[in-house]
Structure 1
Amino acid sequence: MNKQALQAIAMLSFSLFILSSCKKDKDSIAPSNAGKSDQSAPAEKIILGEKLENPYTIENMRTAYNNVSSDNNERTNTDESPVRVTHLYLRFLPKDWAEYDVLKSDTTLKLYQIPLDYEIKTYGNVYQDPSIPEGSPTWQYVSVPAEYQYNKTIRHEILSELYLPELDTVLARSSANFRTNGQSFVETLVNEAMVLTKNYSDTIATDFSNARTAFNPNGTVRVFDTRLNQLVPLQGVKMRARRWFDVREATTNADGWYQTSGFKNAANYSLIFEAGAYDVRTGTFGQATIDGPKQSSSWNVDLWDGVNRFYGHVFRGAWRYHYVDIEGLRRPDLGFKLKYAAFDKSGNAQGLNIGNWDVFSINPNILIYRYSSGGNEYASDEIFSTTCHETCHTTHWQVMNQGIIQYSQVNTFIAESWPVAVEWFLTSKEYRSRGILNYGRENYHISASYPLDRAYQYWPLNSNKDYSSVFIDLVDDFNQNQQTYFDNSTLQYKQGINDPVKGYKLADIEGTFLKHVYGQGSLREQLKKNKPTGVTDTQIDLLMDNF
């Protein structure tokens, strides 16, 4: 088949996927405990200070080595200078976001959006080189071992050849027995280079009584949850501590705590909203990041409000789906990172899944919006829930044998009702584990978008017909026909639908017969073929007749 025909089929399938893969915007009233969030507060721009003289250049390190070697007893057990090119300080400029993705796909590169040899006057989320137009990838800075085979097809510059004695195992062995004032030869050498280049704040204490052991950068990361009205640990985010060109990494655990390997002086901290299977972007493009302070103490990060809190809850929802207990449901597994575009603005939908396509890798796979079309900020559990909903579209496509032709034949009722149930199930599981024991049950009434309020047991027949409660009704043990609810759309009290069915499990549905379900008719058929003990065909008909 020719290229034009393939492109036409891909675009048609892509369009079909978009049309069936979003969570509708249902404006909710912000709860009274919504915190201090301000819609007008933008992501904080990073402001650079002065350019620093680089102490790790070959020239500066040779001078420093000669100086300390000429002092009393400050020698290694070899007459040869160890100073050589061990690392390269590089910067890359991707020509577009597709090339940016190619660069980022090399996970060994610890890329920074800021140059590594500048003071940082104001830390924050975003830096754009003044010479690069807004909306285009900015320079990406990194240090790599001299022998590392990086991608040379992407525009790049070698800013400096480096000697990093702290990472030189040969020097560490040859100078192991040389100490002055409690300092090793390596520490003395680095100190001398810092003094030569007037980076005095980066010297290690020379007074033996004040000499410090290695400091392990550490801290706790938490995000404020507007539903719980408290801070909760943020698990899985990547934490970095950098001393010039030496970068150490760690990942926050279930308590939000992290610790990297050690330095003996202050380090520049940063937080990256990225995990092995996915990352969170600042809108369509760009990694969501916080470049933090330079300090020699713990960096504890509490995301109380603003765009960072929003990024945190998108990350939480994705983390649950990708890594935490989901009771047998399928996890996304596409062979590339899912990209969650977290938009700090209003949208006509709470979220949108635009496809599982690596060929479209310049675009994100999933879009999540911070505000409703009416301008209200979504509560934390709504952001978490919407993230789960949109991720479920990805796994639903995988269940259909990863076939876009098969998935495109699934009607909107099934394509949306299934994620409605999965988001309800996972969000309920998350918030029950955090202390709201009846979260997501029929007696839990909150001001929130579906399906969080009363387990969606008030599902209105005359609106949101495709975003139904049918899969929730299959697994819950509550028949909403026993109660009446006030329908805001008609301003009338209505009786709930007749739901005599219970006992199905979402993981069993997904693993056994969801791939055979294309509409209400095939769902009814598969339910009867795979019904649990105690459920009759008559009960299934009573439930399905509502839809």
Structure 2
Amino acid sequence: MKRFKLFVLITLITLGLFTSCNQDDIDENSVLSSSEFDSQVSPREEGDFKYTVLGKKKEIPCSVENMASAYESLLRNPTAKRHPSGNYSINKTHLYVKFKPQDSIQNDKILNDTILAVSDEPFEYEVVNKGSVYLDPEATDTTLTFYYSVVSKDHQISGEIPHEILKDLHFTAEDAIGETPTDNEEQILDFYEGLNTEALKISDNLEEDEKKNHTYFISDPEERLTYDDIKRLGLKVRDVQINYDLEIDEVENGDQGRLFGRKWRPSGTITVQEDAIDQSVGVMGARVRVRKWGWLVIRKAPTNRTGYFETSRTRTKRVKYACYFKHDPYFVVKAGTTFWNARDRSHSTHTRRSWRRHYSSGRNQFYAFIQNGAYDYYTRVIYDYNLSHPGFFKKIVGKMWYNTSSHALSNLASAFAFYNVRITIGSGGSYRGSDGIYATTVHELTHLGHRNMDSGMFSIFHSGSNNRKLLTESWAEGVETIVTNDRYDDLINNYQSSQNGGGRWNSFRQRQTEMNMNQYTPIVDDLIDNLNQNTTNFARPVDRVENYTLNRIQSALDNCRDIECWENKLNNNRPAGVTTAELNELFDYVRAVRNNAANW
């Protein structure tokens, strides 16, 4: 494994020359104060720690052994409801599996299996510190961890991936009973209620409020002890019996004391604070999983553009939620490394309650910004602007780095790095801001779309071409500029970017002279807007061109390898009112920047 990593490292160093990089997406003068910088990485809210820290290991309530014990206990309880058949088999319905991937291929296969729906955290532990990832202490690798799944006993688990069956599990099938149960089905539901309550009780997994909802006895059902009585007697709930005859009536009291009842829809809203505009927006297109008792995935749903999600109905009242920053089949956001999916897993039990999460700082906020940028690009931007599609199943790694650039890898480099795009939270030591993270995501996905349209443009045999660098980076910078400004103009009136000096996003590029420019020229913005920056400063380029669209510019860029080709194709498809002389005049500064490439 170590030799494999060394090979990958050497290969990536070599291939680093062949990647498309967003060298500096933020004005070089835009730097946060030290106090603002520190606040971006301090663990100020739950979930901002990098690694989850586990605490006490709890008994597994749904294990076959525990469920069998619960059934025997139920049969000894004179107040318990019986199954209408007179007998019930505690057989294996699911498996609790621990996967131990040995390489990136096995790791991806596990993570991409929607049936396995793996978690990097085991399910039977309390959590001391909630983090964005969990590294199993038994894992010998610092990048590859173990994964856990609750899967049907009939699922064919691939033998090529090392795994261990930790427990055989038994789950009752209350959701198989329809909305209007028959009398016989009502009896089955009552039995399921008692069996599951007993399983949680004897494994010491009942919540405090659930313990308070029951009436207890030691030997005689007439004792009618409360939870407070049990505590005063120095007993534990697991050591006494529940009086099921006195359970709260479902119809009259809203079934608040029951584990199951009338069906409901798990739902919620997941939002993120856009610091650039001080506004809360929805986390769009994320995938939410709902687990029965935090174990079995029983429902799934995506968030909409406002961050709201709603699943199909279930009888299970007691659930735990998790949000994954991904949107199949387009992309998945990775938590700092390609081996972890970015996610926010709730460790609180929600009893017939919705889940509301708001990310105002930290890692989850960062991942939510990337999620919104990528989802918006895939589902709106490429259609509104008619841009080339970036492709499917892209891995976007979010790095909490402030001094390293973001980049989109070439196809060859992606094969060795195991990801397609890297987005850093900062650049040049400064935090990008929420609009900067959105803009960077747009920029790098534009590279992928360009490559899909014209793979020859990114040939490794021409990686040193100044023509190609300028064309690829100026194009991505232009899409970033137009799309980011349009998006934030829709969100807020009089949008002022988080870049130094405010104004439009990337407006500083049009304040540059050609001698101060690099491959990230504002040529795309100049082709579209009606601003002539030369009128305010004669040292800036002359721009008398306007009214091109991103799609028209992209069409001209296709199969071009140098600036002259791009200009000629733009000239052949000019908007009304634009002359050849004006276009040539505008491209003069682009040629000058290319010829001054030594200053890059």
TM range (shorter): 0.7 to 0.9
Aligned to 2:424: 369
Q: 2:487 aligns with which of 430, 433, 438?
A: 430
Is 1:17 aligned to residue 61 of structure 2? no
- CA distance 1:435–1:115, change in 2 (3 Å): same
Q: 1:246 aligns with which of 285, 292, 296?
A: 296
The one-letter code of the counterpart of 2:570 is L
Q: Deviations over 1:29-72 (max 9, x none)?
A: 34799698334556343222222222222233234335546757
Question: SS of 2:577's equivalent?
Answer: coil
Alignment of 1:101-180 (within 5 A): 101-133=108-140, 135-166=142-173, 169=176, 177=184, 179=186
Q: Would you say the 8 A contact 2:410–2:458 is kept in 1? A: no
Aligned to 1:387: 441
Shift of 1:313: 1.4
Distance in 2 between the 1:145 and 1:531 partners? 61
- CA distance 1:331–1:99, change in 2 (3 Å): farther
Q: 1:341 aligns with which of 381, 386, 397?
A: 397
Shift of 1:544: 1.0
Q: Deviations over 1:460-495 (max 9, x none)?
A: 3112321111111111122222222xxxxxxxxx54
Structure-2-length-normalised TM-score: 0.78
Is 1:528 aligned to residue 578 of structure 2? no
Q: Would you say the 8 A contact 1:357–1:365 is kept in 2? A: no
Distance in 2 between the 1:84 and 1:183 partners? 18
Distance in 1 between the 2:506 and 2:363 partners? 25
Distance in 1 between the 2:547 and 2:130 partners? 52
Shift of 1:215: 5.3
Aligned to 1:271: 323
Distance in 2 between the 1:214 and 1:362 partners? 46
Shift of 1:305: 1.4
Is 1:199 aligned to residue 205 of structure 2? yes
Q: 2:474 aligns with which of 417, 424, 429?
A: 417
Question: SS of 1:270's equivalent?
Answer: strand
Shift of 1:112: 0.7
Question: SS of 2:88's equivalent?
Answer: coil
Question: SS of 1:430's equivalent?
Answer: helix
Distance in 2 between the 1:130 and 1:37 partners? 29
Shift of 1:356: 3.5
Q: Would you say the 8 A contact 1:88–1:161 is kept in 2? A: yes
Q: Deviations over 1:351-406 (max 9, x none)?
A: 11122359716532111112233x32121111110111111111110110577439
Q: Percent identity?
A: 25
The one-letter code of the counterpart of 1:515 is D
Distance in 2 between the 1:106 and 1:292 partners? 21
Alignment of 1:496-511 (within 5 A): 496-510=540-554
Structure-1-length-normalised TM-score: 0.85
Q: Deviations over 1:121-175 (max 9, x none)?
A: 3323121111224623211001111111232211100111111104673899998
Q: Would you say the 8 A contact 2:282–2:306 is kept in 1? A: yes
Shift of 1:76: 3.7
Distance in 2 between the 1:473 and 1:438 partners? 20
Distance in 2 between the 1:250 and 1:175 partners? 30
- CA distance 1:60–1:278, change in 2 (3 Å): same
Shift of 1:27: 3.2
Q: Would you say the 8 A contact 1:342–1:368 is kept in 2? A: yes
Distance in 1 between the 2:305 and 2:36 partners? 24
Aligned to 1:38: 40
Distance in 1 between the 2:265 and 2:67 partners? 25
Larger helix proportion, structure 1 or 2? Answer: 2
The one-letter code of the counterpart of 2:518 is K
- Runs of 4+ residues deviating >6 angstroms: 10-13, 31-36, 170-175, 448-451
Q: 2:517 aligns with which of 461, 464, 467?
A: 464
Q: Which moved more, 1:81-90 or 1:58-67?
A: 58-67
The one-letter code of the counterpart of 1:390 is E
Question: SS of 1:320's equivalent?
Answer: helix
Q: Deviations over 1:286-332 (max 9, x none)?
A: 22222223132333222111222222212221111112244233354
Distance in 1 between the 2:320 and 2:412 partners? 36
Distance in 2 between the 1:15 and 1:121 partners? 40
Name the larger-Rg structure. Answer: 2
Question: SS of 2:133's equivalent?
Answer: coil
Question: SS of 2:547's equivalent?
Answer: coil
Distance in 2 between the 1:449 and 1:153 partners? 54
Shift of 1:428: 1.2
Distance in 2 between the 1:130 and 1:525 partners? 60
Q: Would you say the 8 A contact 1:77–1:174 is kept in 2? A: no
Aligned to 1:355: 410
Q: 2:81 aligns with which of 63, 70, 74?
A: 74
Q: CA RMSD in A?
A: 3.4
Shift of 1:214: 4.7
Distance in 2 between the 1:255 and 1:438 partners? 20
Is 1:223 aligned to residue 272 of structure 2? yes
